[in-house]
A and B are shown apart, each in its own frame.
Chain A
Amino acid sequence: MSLDLDKNNICKEEVFDTFFKEQATPLRNYLYFKFGDLDQAEDIVQEAFIKLWNNCSKVVLEKAKSYLYTVAVNKGISMMRHNQVKFKYKNYILGSKSEATQESPEFLMLEKEYHEKLKRAIASLPERQREVYLLSRIEKKTYREIAELSGVSIKAIEKLMHKALVKMRKEIGTA
């Protein structure tokens, strides 16, 4: 039919591809922050997109994102029920790209130690705080976007963010 319809039809390969490239990374990071395992998150992303593709005729493009997140989160929850995952960060969270620096070896050592403490502190956060903290700081999402994603008020997100930061400081201070 009209071009307009095709543009919104996920059964069209180009539409599906564009949608995948736009959504795969944010979804994968969201699932990682929420459930704590990056490899598992990538598996879930794949399954969710396969399911979307299989049902492409029934899902309009505007609804595709919420469909995708619902499928993925349900999958994550059912996996979590089986093996509670501690937040894993080894090889998943990397420090900033270190360019050749003029810094002294002692300074670099301290930096490394601090990074380790920081990641451990992130891993120690309760699930909801961790999710909000990382979505905000690493994914650069606004409180409003995070609130929409998890279906709670912006106020609730601000509270979680505040709590997360207080806990982070305590963890790092005593570690």
Chain B
Amino acid sequence: MLEKLRDDAEGAFLSRWLNNELTPEELAEFEAHPEYKEYKKIIAETDALRIKAYDVDKALQTVKNNNEGTLKQKERKVIPLLATLSVAASIAILVGLFIFNTSKISHDTGFGEQKVVTLPDGSEMILNAKSSAKYDKDWSDNRLVNLDGEAYFKVKKGSKFSVKTANGDVTVLGTQFNVTSQDELFQVVCYEGKVSVSSRKHTEILTRGEAFRRIEAEQEQWNENVEAPSWINNTSSFHSVPISYVLQEIEEQYNLKIKNKPLDNTIIYTGTFPNDNLDVALKTVFSTLDVTYTLSEDKKTLVLK
């Protein structure tokens, strides 16, 4: 009997006992054993344990809010923001003309800056922070923008309109869409109409509400039922992206240098942070990651612990 109750015993005696698979002789022998009572009690008491209740309805609600609520746009906020930004943009266009004085026009945004640009054909481009866009002054034969960073486009109907990035190209006919091309991240969300995305010899047609993404070699598509990208309303949002892109976005939005970045890029982040409130942004991102941090007095350096 003792042999069978050793922890490395063959035959998993106690498992068979729990499953009522012992022979009557085995059971009788076990019941006579001094340890039998102890095992019996352990099982009885374990079976009576409960795990803390789980509010499934509330959890479902949170999942849904995360899908819709945090991404849902508030239409009224767009107008005043665009109005102030268009002033900055027209100044930027003038500067661009003076400096280059060639047929190329280029726009760059600094940390935490956004620009609204009216393109030669009347289409609208909103550049997000730390991004750069270049295009020909004359668009009579093709409509083409070279982009590095992130921008949102509202394209006037007409001939082919293309956005070229280091990661891939997007071609459209009259539509609204958002393009992100940052290091190895390439992401396109179509908000209206139809766009064609080609990246690494792969072409995909996106219609309203569809999104495409490639991070390094991994490609995915999903539905994003929002009216416009969240950063237009001063919120950065992420759908399960490696943490390095989130940290980079914080640096670009707030002109920060982050030190001690985690080396492990398998941490995946889903969530949003505001682009106009540093304290809230840091709290939002780092409390969910369970990371503590110190911000330097001049608010230029953030050290993670």
Contacts and interface: CB of A to CB of B under 8 A. Distances in A.
B38 A172 contact: yes
Given A11-B223, A38-B52, A95-B49, A166 B67 contact: no
A82 interface: yes
B239 interface: yes
Contacts of B102: none
A58 B223 CA distance: 11
B204 to A, nearest CB: 13
Interface in B42-69: 42-43, 45-52, 54, 56-57, 59-60, 62-63, 66-67
B271 to A, nearest CB: 10
B298 interface: no
B48 A166 contact: no
A175 interface: no
Interface stretch (B12-20, B89-97, B251-259): B12-20
B42 A169 contact: yes
Interface in B237-276: 239-240, 262, 264, 266-268, 270
A29 B53 CA distance: 10
Given A20-B63, A92-B52, A173-B38, A138 B223 contact: no
Interface stretch (B2-10, B147-155, B228-236): B2-10
A46 interface: yes
A96 B49 contact: yes
Contacts of B41: 114
Contacts of B8: 163
B14 A162 contact: yes
B31 interface: no
A168 interface: yes
A5 interface: no
A47 interface: yes
Contacts of B264: 78, 81-82
Given A11-B223, A24-B54, A172-B38, A50 B270 contact: yes
Contacts of B14: 161-162, 165-166
A88 B78 CA distance: 47
B123 to A, nearest CB: 29
A166 B52 contact: no
B42 A159 contact: no
Interface of A: 11, 17, 20-21, 24-25, 28-29, 32, 38, 42-43, 45-47, 49-51, 53-58, 75, 78-79, 81-83, 91-97, 114-115, 118-119, 122, 133, 136-138, 143, 155, 157-159, 161-163, 165-169, 172-173
Given A50-B63, A138-B49, 20 more contacts: A20-B56, A24-B56, A45-B59, A50-B66, A54-B67, A82-B264, A93-B49, A93-B52, A94-B49, A94-B50, A133-B46, A137-B43, A138-B47, A138-B50, A158-B15, A159-B12, A162-B15, A165-B14, A165-B15, A169-B42
